[in-house]
Amino acid sequence: MEKLLKYKPKHYGDEMVSIESILNAALIPVVPRPEFVGSLQRKVMAFSFPDVTIVEKKPSNHLIVLVVSVLSATLLLGVWVRLLIGLGKAIGTRVEGKGKEHKRPELSAQTMV
CB atoms within 10 A of CB 88: 13
Does residue 77 fall inside a structural domain?
A: yes
Q: Confirm whether 65 is domain-assigned.
A: yes
What number of residues does the chain have?
A: 113
DSSP H helices, 27-96, are 34-48, 60-91
94 pLDDT band, cuts 50/70/90, is low
Report yes or no on 15 lying in a domain.
no
Pick the most confident of 25-29, 72-76, 83-87, 100-104.
72-76
What range defines the domain where residue 71 resides?
61-92
87 within domain boundaries = yes
pLDDT of residue 37: 92
How many domains, the chain? 1
Residue 95's contacts (CB-CB under 8 Å, 6 or more residues apart) are: 84, 85, 88, 89
In a domain, 100, yes or no: no
* pTM for this model (two decimals): 0.31
Please tell me which residue, 96 or 25, carries the higher pLDDT value: 25
